[in-house]
């Protein structure tokens, strides 16, 4: 039985289980829109408010292709999470999933999804960032031979790895507690595809093309289904193809190594140092990142690349200021 708000497109009885999720974080609208479009191309009646899962038989799919919304309650709230505790994509820690004394909306949804993720062969979890003008990249835990094979199929310039579970650090997780790790540690392959700025709908057609192309090249769908999953608007479709064709194939690998949290409870009055706040920019130890209104400074604790910088208006005591990564 599928969890609520997911739908299975079933082709052959034999074949891989492939899952495409949008809205694991409820305010990341690009993934939500992509899944909404794809569900509409299969069955226009499918939508977020239709809670019950469904199964649709469709020639041209190898195995089963499951589409759906990661965190429907957070989507309805247009918020990153549906709870004040850990968000959904920080709940897939083994000890937390098994601790039934703990219960909140995001964790309960993680438990519902985990049974599916354990038997998933390929997961593409579609995300976006809170940083305006950010470009697409891939993010997952450890680079495996299967990740090595899949990464060049995505038109992204950066691949972010987190084999040491740094993303779980602010919550005190003992392992990487994300959807991709839930699949990877069960023997499947999973990638978080960060599509760009969370409200930038112009990135959706390229994401449609890129993911559909991955499915096609891996024999999961036929060309007929591939065409069905592309943007319906001719201009969007043409622009996405041009951007894919312009991709040079160069991909820089960066490993997360640390994070920094605010010195103050909120980011009120925080001002970035000149030129700061851009994802992937190289930074130096002791270089100034910014100042609070009272003059307190934030400086980098080591050399690296700036990852997941939080805009000042979103800074609070539950966010990190940024992560640092280093090439490997």
Clarify whether residues 235 and 116 are in a common domain. yes
> Are 268 and 146 within one domain?
no
Condensed to tens digits (0 to 9), the pLDDT of residues 221-268 reads 999 999 999 999 999 999 999 999 999 889 999 999 999 887 665 556
Joined tokens for residue 300: 């980098």
In a domain, 252, yes or no: no
Structural domain span for residue 222: 6-245
pTM, two decimals, is 0.93
Summarised one tens digit per residue, pLDDT across range 108-129 is: 999 999 999 999 999 999 999 9
Q: How far apart are CA 236 and CA 202, in angstroms?
A: 8
Predicted local distance difference test score (pLDDT) of residue 266: 58
Say if 1 falls within a structural domain: no
Q: Are residues 177 and 311 in the same domain?
A: no
pLDDT at residue 105, rounded to an integer: 96
Distance CA 270, CA 313 (A): 9
102: exposed, middle or buried (C-beta count within 10 Å: 0-12, 13-18, 19+)?
A: middle
Query: Among 296, 315, 328, 306, which Cα is nearest to 259's?
Result: 306
DSSP-assigned beta bridge partners for residue 299? 288
pLDDT value, residue 226: 96
198, 217, 245 — which closes off a domain?
A: 245
Mean pLDDT calculated for residue range 175-182: 95
39: part of which helix (H) or strand (E)? Answer: helix 29-42
Ramachandran category for residue 128: left, alpha or beta (phi over 0 → left; psi -120 to 50 → alpha): beta
Segment (H or E) for 326: strand 322-327
User: CATH number for the domain including 291?
Assistant: 2.40.50.100
Interval 31-48: pLDDT, tens: 999 999 999 888 877 777
Q: Looking at the domain assignment, is residue 31 inside a domain?
A: yes
pLDDT reading at 317 higher than 70:
no
Give the residue carrying structure tokens 């309805």. Answer: 76
In this predicted structure, what is the pLDDT of residue 310? 83
- CATH code of the domain containing 209: 3.40.630.10
218 and 319 assigned to the same domain = no
* Percentage of the chain lying above the pLDDT 70 cut: 97
Residue 250 lies in a domain: no
Q: How far is CA 209 from CA 10, 182, 204, 262, in A?
A: 21, 26, 9, 38
Mean pLDDT, rounded, of the chain: 92
Confidence of residue 131 (pLDDT cuts 50, 70, 90): confident
Are 167 and 24 contained in the same domain?
Answer: yes
**Per-residue model confidence (pLDDT) at position 52:** 79
| Per-residue pLDDT tens over the stretch 144-154 | 999 999 999 99
- DSSP-derived pairing of the beta strands 189-197 and 137-140: antiparallel
| The pLDDT of residue 295 is above 90 | no
End residue of a domain, out of 185, 215, 245:
245
* pLDDT tens by residue, 252-265: 999 999 998 876 65
What average pLDDT does this structure show over 44-61? 82
As a whole number, mean pLDDT of residues 131-135 equals 87
Average pLDDT on 74-94 reads: 94
- Compute the distance between CA of residue 325 and CA of residue 308 in angstroms, rounded to an integer: 10
Q: Are residues 239 and 313 in the same domain?
A: no
């Amino acid at each position: 039985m599928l969890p609520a708000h997911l739908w299975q497109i079933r082709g052959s009885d034999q074949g891989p289980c492939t899952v495409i999720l949008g809205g694991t974080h409820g305010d990341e609208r690009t993934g939500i829109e992509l899944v909404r479009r794809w569900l509409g191309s299969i069955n226009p009646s499918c939508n977020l408010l239709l809670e019950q899962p469904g199964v649709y038989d469709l020639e041209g799919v190898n195995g089963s292709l499951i589409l759906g919304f990661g965190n429907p309650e957070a989507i309805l709230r247009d918020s990153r999470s549906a709870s004040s505790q850990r968000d959904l994509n920080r709940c897939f820690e083994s000890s937390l999933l098994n601790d039934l004394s703990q219960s909140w909306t995001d964790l309960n949804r993680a438990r519902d999804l985990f049974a599916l993720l354990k038997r998933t062969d390929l997961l593409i979890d579609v995300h976006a960032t809170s940083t305006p003008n950010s470009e697409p990249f891939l993010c997952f835990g450890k680079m495996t031979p299967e990740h090595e094979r899949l990464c060049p199929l995505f038109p992204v310039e950066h691949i972010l790895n987190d084999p040491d579970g740094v993303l779980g650090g602010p919550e005190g997780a003992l392992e990487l507690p994300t959807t991709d790790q839930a699949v990877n540690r069960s023997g499947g392959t999973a990638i978080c595809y960060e599509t760009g700025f969370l409200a930038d709908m112009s990135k959706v057609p390229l994401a449609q093309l890129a993911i559909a192309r991955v499915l096609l090249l891996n024999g999961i769908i036929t060309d007929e289904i591939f065409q069905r999953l592309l943007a319906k608007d001719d201009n969007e479709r043409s622009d996405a193809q041009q951007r894919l064709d312009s991709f040079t194939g160069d991909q820089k690998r960066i490993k997360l190594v640390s994070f920094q949290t605010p010195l103050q409870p909120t980011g009120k009055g925080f001002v970035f140092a000149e030129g700061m706040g851009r994802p992937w920019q190289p930074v130096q130890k002791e270089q100034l990142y910014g100042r609070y209104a009272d003059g307190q400074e934030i400086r980098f604790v080591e050399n690296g690349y700036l990852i997941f910088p939080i805009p000042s208006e979103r800074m609070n005591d539950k966010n990190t200021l940024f992560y640092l990564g280093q090439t490997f």
